[in-house]
Structure 1
Amino acid sequence: MLSDTLSNELQRYAIGPRIKALRLRKKLGLVQLAQHTGLSPAMLSKIERGQMFPTLPTLLRIAMVFGVGLDHFFSAEKEEPLIAIVRKEQRLKLPSRPGEKHPPYLFESLDYPASGRRMEAFYAEFPVDGPPSEPHRHGSAEFIYVLSGRLTVKVDGKEAVLDGGDAIYFDSSVAHSYRREGKEIATAIVVTSSSAVVD
């Protein structure tokens, strides 16, 4: 239980209202945000209303959905940087869903320091022991460039098999999923437009 002093200090940062503002800007409901963070809608509601303060790992899960860093919740609004460089060792891994032993893919953000960005770029790995991903939708467009291995991308019921050097652009507002093929890991660069996550 937090002391009154700590609670008052945390209230000053208005973390809950900042999360709600990001959620509304992305046109996400609490249930949708819960699906993408692995947190319950009830917990998210309490956090937004200031009835609960998130731990740093919990806040990081929320931040990654919106493409912002933890500093977004603790610093004053500042001018957006024109250039953001991410070194190989600085790439930020997106957290897997809680309890997921063999995720279908692992994403690392390549542009997380850039606030207010219009697109999001990721380095993606599709592990050998990973199952096919569940169909999902998120906004308006996605681009995938396969670096190595073989990857099947299913968009609106149609499948495209991609090898290293192949690329695909598609409307990501329709249901799509990924499936690694063969016995080797598949890697790719994935770029998505920054807009509302639908499902």
Structure 2
Amino acid sequence: MLSETLIEGLESYRIGSKIRALRASKSMGLAQLGDHTGLSAGMLSKLERGQVVPTLPTLMRVAMVFGVGLDHFFQPGETAPLVELVRAQERLTLPNVREGDVTYHFASLDYTVQGRQTEAFLAEFPKGAPESEPHEHEGVEMIHVISGWLELTIHSRTHRLEVGDTLTFDAGFPHSYRGEGQALVTLRPEI
């Protein structure tokens, strides 16, 4: 059985609506498509409505009927404007640990959004937690403190941020965090 995260990731490709569009482009009914693929009309209906996740062999049967490759189902969707909702309870939250102690928890706010230009995280710093391990990565990082306070150490300097403060920096240099409360962290992967 697939996890909710995997199902949501697959849903972002809108495979069912792509099958429906191919069928509609040929004015073909579900029963006709079933005759060509060996799949029942009921199964095809469930695939189109996103109630069943298709296997690769099932997709290949459909693709062969319409003369498209499997890549057709995994290309970017319609050219509709990007609108992607991630509910609070659906966030992927992970701890950052240093020597067995949680330094902060970070929740990805937009991990399901395809083709995103930035990454957004909500970081929660427990009271009395140790400083995070210094780390570096590509891109520009922006931190905005929502509650409490945050200290960011970079280039041998510690910057203390209070509620409402924002700090933007080149994340390609070693940096670490220590704080108490919540901060919004936005990362633009390329600089």
TM-score w.r.t. the length of structure 1 is 0.54
CA distance in 2, matches of 1:95, 1:78: 33
Residue 59 of structure 2: aligned partner: none
1:43-87, Cα deviation, whole Å (9 max, x unpaired): xxxxxxxxxxxxx89xx8xx9xxxxx7649x88523157221112
Root-mean-square deviation (CA, aligned residues, Å) is: 3.2
Residue 188 of structure 2: aligned partner: 193
Shift of 1:174: 0.7
| Preserved CA contact (<8 Å) 2:144 2:164 | yes
Greater relative contact order structure (CA < 8 Å, 6+ sep): 1
Matched residue pairs, number? 127
Going by fraction, where is strand more abundant, 1 or 2? 2
SS in 2 for 1:83: coil
The 1:190–1:106 alpha-carbon spacing in structure 2 relative to 1, beyond 3 Å, is same
> Gaps (5+ residues) in structure 1?
1-55, 64-68
Residue 175 of structure 1: aligned partner: 174
SS in 2 for 1:104: strand
> Gaps (5+ residues) in structure 2?
13-54, 57-72
SS in 2 for 1:89: helix
Q: What is the 5 A alignment of 1:84-163?
A: 84-94=84-94, 96=96, 101-163=100-162
Residue 19 of structure 1: aligned partner: none
The 1:87–1:100 alpha-carbon spacing in structure 2 relative to 1, beyond 3 Å, is farther
CA distance in 1, matches of 2:99, 2:9: 24
Residue 36 of structure 1: aligned partner: none
Q: In terms of Rg, which structure is larger?
A: 2
- The amino acid that maps onto 2:171 is S
| Preserved CA contact (<8 Å) 2:125 2:181 | yes
| Preserved CA contact (<8 Å) 2:96 2:103 | no
TM-score w.r.t. the length of structure 2 is 0.57
CA distance in 1, matches of 2:156, 2:182: 23
Identity, % of aligned pairs? 38
SS in 1 for 2:121: strand
Shift of 1:95: 5.2
SS in 2 for 1:115: coil
Shift of 1:147: 0.5
